[in-house]
Amino acid sequence: MNVNPIEGLLSIAAFLGVVWVGVLEGIVITIGLSFVAFVNEAWRPYRAELVQIPGMRGYHDRSRHPEGHRIDGIVILRFDAPLFFANGGMFTDYVRSVVAAGPEVTTLILAAEPITDIDSTAVDDLVELDDFLANAGITFLIAEMKGPVKDRLARYGLDRRFGPERFAPTVGAAVDAVLGHERDDIGEPSDRS
């Protein structure tokens, strides 16, 4: 069985802490190191551009599916962590770099299901990103955002800026709304083998 290297190091730290400084102190040290490891992981989360694969439902990670393709004018991005002070700037930098590197973009869709929370610093980053995209003529839509995160945006007063028209229940619904029609390259679920 393979062990995550970070978990292995935390186990060793727990053992050495207990041996060298005592049980309670060793556990406290390990909890502190675990917190640092958690923040480090959330600070640099997995990011993905999602693409369409002809004949396959959904939208998939471009780095894992090179056969996929962008939809003309649309970029779909996923950020797999809560947005908070440590990664909000990284999130906006990532979005800007993908938009700048691709062909002409008219719509950016954020697949927000993995974003389970957002703090006030990240809200500021989100507003700055929205302004940047609007100035570039790019519509910013958010798909699959969880209700509690939408509630948090409303508490920050962003429900006026990000009205219901900016949210979609799924990435597919957002793409369909932008294109003005549903995907026609896939059949009904019962048609697939």
CA distance 36 to 114: 21
- Please tell me whether the overall predicted TM-score, pTM, comes out greater than 0.85 for this model: no
The terminus-to-terminus CA distance of the chain in angstroms comes to 34
CA distance 127 to 161: 9
CA distance 100 to 179: 22
Q: How distant, in Å, are the alpha carbons of 71, 81, 113, 129, 133 from that of 45?
A: 25, 6, 14, 18, 22
Q: Identify the pLDDT of residue 88.
A: 87
Q: Identify the pLDDT of residue 184.
A: 74
3-state SS, 70-126, equals: CECCEEEEEECCCECCCCHHHHHHHHHHHHHHCCCCCEEEEECCCCCCECHHHHHHH
Q: Which tokens is 71 given?
A: 């939809």
**Cα-flanking dihedrals φ and ψ of residue 176, to 5°?**
-60, -40
- Mean pLDDT, 10 residues at a time, over the chain (193 residues)? 71 83 86 81 83 91 92 94 87 93 90 93 92 95 95 88 93 94 67 39
Q: Identify the pLDDT of residue 102.
A: 72
pLDDT in tens, 17-65: 888 888 888 888 888 888 887 777 766 788 999 999 988 889 999 999 9
